[in-house]
Amino acid sequence: MDAIIKQHPALKAANAEGQRPSRDQAEEAVRTLLSYIGEDPAREGLKDTPKRVVNAYAELYAGYKQEPGVVLERVFEDVGGYQDIVLVQDIPFYSHCEHHMVPFYGKVHAAYYPTDGVVGLSKIARVVEVFARRLQTQENLTAQIAEAIDQVLKPRGVAVLVEAEHMCMAMRGIKKSGVLTTTTRFTGLFADDPAEQVRFITLVRGGQR
């Protein structure tokens, strides 16, 4: 699990003790942005907004304080030697793009071929949460989920498919709504054998309503 964290030096720096701005500084920064967009931070409706924004950030970006390895640890369940594909489908997520800090959201589908057992299905959903509640690109989110499952469970292969709508595309720039972006990441068996990728995608698409 250490290895997973070490892949993100920026994250480590951001969390280092003493380097983090205080809560007051964070609220002041929100006031600055309010003034910048032409608002009066002192007006009645906005008086508590900096506090609320900082509170919301604690929840929206809670993933920086969580380790995916810890989430997945000690979770093996004996399932009588089951070794076939395990698919967890339609895991909803809400994240923020690292380019604009604007939401993107959608669904994650993840599958793996177990070796020593399977994890509780909710654990995969929690791994998705850990990575989604950070500033992200959809590509990195997809890769990080796959790699966390791969490193901790050591399965014979992992497949992750993420489909998402990006508000920075819908609300600004080209202003296209309803556009879904799909990203995939395959390891092990799935990376080596295109037939396994087809099986995974067929299962995902077959299960969609």
Which residues are near Zn ion by CB under 5 A? Answer: 97, 99-100, 168
User: How is the chain split among helix, strand and coil, in percent rounded to 5?
Assistant: 50, 20, 30
Q: What is the CA radius of gyration of the chain?
A: 20
How near is the Cβ of 179 to Zn ion at its closest, in Å? 13
Neighbours of 160 (CB within 10 A): 29
Nearer to Zn ion, 55 or 177 (CB): 177
Nearer to Zn ion, 57 or 76 (CB): 57
* Residues recognised as catalytic: 97-100, 138, 166, 168
Q: How far apart, in whole angstroms, are the C-alpha atoms of residue 207 and residue 44?
A: 49
How near is the Cβ of 209 to Zn ion at its closest, in Å? 29
How near is the Cβ of 169 to Zn ion at its closest, in Å? 7
Q: How far apart, in whole angstroms, are the C-alpha atoms of residue 181 and residue 105?
A: 10
Nearer to Zn ion, 60 or 149 (CB): 60
Nearer to Zn ion, 47 or 99 (CB): 99
Q: How far apart, in whole angstroms, are the C-alpha atoms of residue 84 and residue 88?
A: 13
Torsions phi, psi for 50 (to 5 deg): -55, -40
The residue with its CB nearest to Zn ion is 168
Q: What is the DSSP letter of 65?
A: G
How near is the Cβ of 97 to Zn ion at its closest, in Å? 3
